[in-house]
Structure 1
């Protein structure tokens, strides 16, 4: 009488082998790490894209505001200062002042505020040079207010805001170069002024220099909107 041995059950090594379990764990860990890195890279890429879009929007705004002519009845025309040479406005400052000479007969404001201090060794301030230039070209001296302490746009506009508030005034028309118009407007608004801008159309800042300054201003405006223009002035002026 023959007997048969029971069949041997053969199990798959991959189902129970410790080596198989470790490989599965490693694969899962690799997938998890890869997924995390993909999320990090995606987030970084999105942040860079948003930063580029934010900068481009700021650049377009710098360009468009610099070409606006927001003429309106205001309390004062404010001229942003620039270099002067022993009492004579630089060509850049003269272009801004010439624009004021054109605006003054239109009766937009009863006052003109000229701005800008001096550097050690100068006999005249930017405000002094500007006032003399305007007076020689028909703007009455008794309507010209001098802000002659500021060494930056922010400092000058802060002094202008205090000067005008002391007279119960706050509506201003800022005259400057096109590339500088948006930052001047938003700085003045941060200081509590009601602002319009009218840029000179005879600016001596042209070509590649104008493009470079527009790009710099776009970066400044983009940062200033986040940290405030006072802090921006502390960093760059």
Structure 2
């Protein structure tokens, strides 16, 4: 009887250990990447919200070629309370000598008799501004299109600098868009109206404008779905 060495069976546990180890490593790295992306997203979101809040506090009354009033809702030629607050601020800036020209901007919804720009001009002329001191740019259904229309109208007239009037939380987005359109722009927002009445309206405005600004910066398209009614 001859002796033969016993056959050894492959260690199946060792063979299966390696694939499981690689899979666990991949899962760990995937988890880290996802966690990092979430953290970066939160930092971007929070940083943008802080900038919206910071710029909302700026009031720059530097002399400009034009005071630009961003449109808001109007009813048969009567500005809404949001729009009226902006127009009143523009009137005050004009009286303080910030510019000899006020530009109102905004089109109209289906069925409206007046454009936002026209109703804004009527408000200002009724308040005592000369008719030739107010230019109505009667187009624009959102902030981006309104800014682009204003920029085109100003360039046609050789005007370059603009003091932008809107709600405080709307300031950063309007300024960003205006500068992208080639204007030398800064902000002098209203401090009255529904957009600033309560802490809730302020928080709502900051949240909406943060989303709208991020959307614009990512796509350079209009942010109608995000912009609140007061800011359009």
TM-score relative to the length of structure 2: 0.90
Q: CA deviation at 1:129?
A: 1.0
Q: Partners in 2 of 1:97 and 1:146 — Cα distance?
A: 13
Which shifted more, 204-213 or 194-203?
A: 204-213
Q: CA deviation at 1:54?
A: 0.3
Q: Partners in 1 of 2:172 and 2:218 — Cα distance?
A: 15
Q: Structure 1, residues 78-108: CA drift from partner, whole Å, max 9, x if none?
A: 0000011111111100100111111112211
Q: How many residues align?
A: 223
Q: Partners in 1 of 2:92 and 2:174 — Cα distance?
A: 21
Secondary structure, counterpart of 1:232 in structure 2: coil
The CA RMSD measured in Å over matched residues stands at 2.0
- Structure 1's 91 and 75: CA in aligned 2 closer, same or farther, altered over 3 A? same
Which has the higher Rg, Structure 1 or Structure 2? 1
Secondary structure, counterpart of 1:169 in structure 2: coil
Secondary structure, counterpart of 2:222 in structure 1: helix
1:80 and 2:70 correspond: yes
Counterpart in the other structure of 1:189: 179
Structure 1 segments, 4+ long, off by >2 Å, are 8-11, 232-237
Counterpart in the other structure of 1:4: none
Counterpart in the other structure of 1:217: 209
Structure 2: gaps of 5 or more residues: 228-232
Q: Partners in 2 of 1:212 and 1:226 — Cα distance?
A: 21
Q: Structure 1, residues 171-212: CA drift from partner, whole Å, max 9, x if none?
A: 101000011111111111111111100110112123323312
Structure 1: gaps of 5 or more residues: 1-7
